[in-house]
């Protein structure tokens, strides 16, 4: 499963093996050249010829913004529990603005309130008319 997921992620971002190796090397914390990633090495991972180390899998997961479990085939990428994400220690941002702990808590409360309130709202009939939003903007 790992080789297929790695290949799909790389191809999905339209990057070459060489480009991925370069990007992973930017995450390398050591100055030792023997630990740098190569296109050949990543190609071996994608073909299942070699298995990357834990450190390499972690770098791949961080680069592609997926979990290590996803890379290993234990979970699906499309399943995210927002409550766990908001309560995690992971840094979150919205429109490139980092959310503070207070922001995270308040957004969590808003989503929770919306979902609980949704159960109380009557179903609205579908309308063929487009709603207009008047923002009272001056045309100056």
**139 lies in some domain:** no
State residue 116's pLDDT score. Answer: 85
Give the span between the Cα atoms of 71 and 56, in whole angstroms: 11
The answer to whether residue 124 sits within a structural domain is no
Number of domains in the chain: 2
Structural domain span for residue 14: 2-72
What value does the mean pLDDT take over residues 35-63?
92
* Cα angle: 45, vertex 46, 48; to 5 degrees: 65
| Residue 61 shares a structural domain with residue 94 | no
pLDDT in tens, 106-137: 988 998 888 888 877 776 655 555 555 555 55
Tell me which of 43 and 138 has the higher pLDDT. Answer: 43
Residue 65 domain-assigned (yes or no) = yes
Q: How many residues does the chain have?
A: 140
Q: Is residue 133 included in any domain, yes or no?
A: no
Model's pTM, two decimal places? 0.53
Do 15 and 53 fall into the same domain? yes
Among residues 133, 9, 119, the alpha carbon closest in space to that of 72 is found at: 9
- In this structure, the answer to whether residues 32 and 66 fall within a common structural domain is yes
């Amino acid at each position: 499963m790992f080789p297929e997921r790695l290949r799909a992620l790389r191809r999905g971002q339209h990057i070459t093996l060489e480009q991925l190796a370069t990007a992973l090397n930017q995450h390398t914390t050591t100055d030792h050249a023997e630990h740098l990633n190569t296109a050949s090495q990543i190609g071996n991972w994608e073909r299942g010829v070699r298995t990357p180390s834990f450190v390499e899998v972690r770098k791949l997961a961080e680069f592609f913004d997926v979990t290590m479990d996803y890379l290993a085939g234990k979970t699906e990428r499309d399943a995210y529990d927002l409550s766990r994400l908001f309560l995690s220690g992971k840094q979150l941002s919205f429109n490139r603005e980092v959310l503070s702990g207070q922001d995270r808590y308040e957004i969590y409360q808003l989503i929770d309130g919306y979902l609980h309130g949704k159960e109380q709202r009557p179903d609205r009939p579908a309308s063929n008319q487009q709603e207009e939003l008047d923002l009272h903007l001056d045309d100056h």
